[in-house]
Amino acid sequence: MSPHGNAAGKPAAQKRAKKVTLTLRVNGEDHEVLFAPHKTLLEVLREEMGLTGTKHGCELGECGTCTVVVDGEPMLSCLMLAVECDGREITTVEGLSTAKGPHPLQEAFADLNAAQCGYCTPGFLCASKALLDRNPSPTREQIRDDLAGNLCRCTGYAKIFEAVERAAAVMRGEPVPPPPGNEDLGGAAPAQGEVTRGA
């Protein structure tokens, strides 16, 4: 369903290209989506598919916030047309968790406070996932290099690097220490509560 709703009496602007229907493979599932051919992958994910986990910071390819994984590569969804994605495997932040639980990157970002405001986080998670899928044991310099296209204004990046290293260790099956500051909470961080805003 389009979040735009219907035109009020008047037909929508003229000279609009005819919409196309495409089957996009997103987070392991095929979705038949109807959209105008000039729409970016970012717009189609957020506005046509309701996958608002992918954020935008500039819509000009400058900040990395809208990063998703396409065929294993981190891609800026604001610069990519959705029509380019026919037959390609797209992973967004919503697709990182499985029935078994969150992705180790998600756990590590939460445990180390690598997400402060959380707005750049989906982009960092996707860029990091692409990195770890390609290289299970990246050095700090490789992480720094791979994430150089993603801006974060809150953290100063250090906790993000540490979280990627921690997740990499978990994915390699290595034991990790409890998150700093939680040694006496018995190893695992207690689960989170919930936040509610106005309905």
Partner 1 sequence: MAPDPKQPPFKTVGKSPRKVDGMAKVTGATKFADDLSMPRMLHCKLHRSHVAHAKILAIDTSEAEAMPGVVAVITGKTMPIPFGILPVSQDEHALCVDLVRFVGDPVAAVAAVDEETAFEAALKIKVTYEPRKPIFSAEAALENPEPRLHEYGDEGNVHKKISMEFGDVEQGFAEADEVFEDTFFFEGNTHLPMEQHATLAWRDPDGKLTVWSSTQTPHYLHRAMSKVLEMPPSRVRIVACPNGGGFGGKSDPFNHEIVVGKLAMLTNRPVKIALTREEVFYCHRGRHPVLMHFKTGVKKDGSITSMACKTLLDGGAYGSYGVASTYYTGALQTVTYKVPHYRFDGVRCFTNKPPCGPKRGHGTPQPRFGLEVQLDKIADRLGLDPAEMRLRTLQPANSVTANYLKIGSMGLGECIRKVVEASGWKDKRGKLPRGRGVGLACSSYISGAGLPIYWNALPHSGVQLKIDRGGGVTVFCGETEIGQGSDTVLALCVAEVLGLDLLDLRVVVADTDLTPVDLGSYSSRVTMMMGNAAVQAAERARELIAKAVSEKTKVPVAQLEFAAGRVFDVSDPTGKTSMSFAEAAVIAEAKWGTLGTVGSYTPPPSPGRYRGAGVGPSPAYSYSAAVVEVEASEDTGMVQVKKVWVAHDIGRALHKAMTIGQVEGGVYMGLGEALMEEMTYRGNRFGVHKFPSMLEYKSLTTMEMPEVETFLVEDPDPNGPFGAKEVGQGPLLPMMPAVANAVYDALGVRVDEIPVSPEKVLRALAAKDRRYGPKGFPVIPMPPVTKVLTPAQGGTGRATEHETQAGGVRS
Residues from 126 through 145 that contact partner 1 (CB under 8 A):
143-145
**Binding region for partner 1 (CB under 8 A) out of 69-77, 80-88, 118-126, 130-138:** 118-126
- The tokens for 11 are 């037909």
CB 88 within 8 A of CB 129: no
Q: How many residues does the chain have?
A: 199
DSSP character for 43? H
SS3 74: strand
Question: CA 34 from chain center: how many Å?
Answer: 22
Nearer to partner 1, 87 or 184 (CB): 184
**Binding region for partner 1 (CB under 8 A) out of 17-25, 89-97, 131-139, 168-176:** 89-97
Nearer to partner 1, 3 or 87 (CB): 3
Q: Which of residues 42-81 bind partner 1 (CB under 8 A)?
A: 46-47, 51-60, 62-63, 65
Nearer to partner 1, 86 or 187 (CB): 187
| Residue that has been written with the tokens 């290293």 in this structure | 165
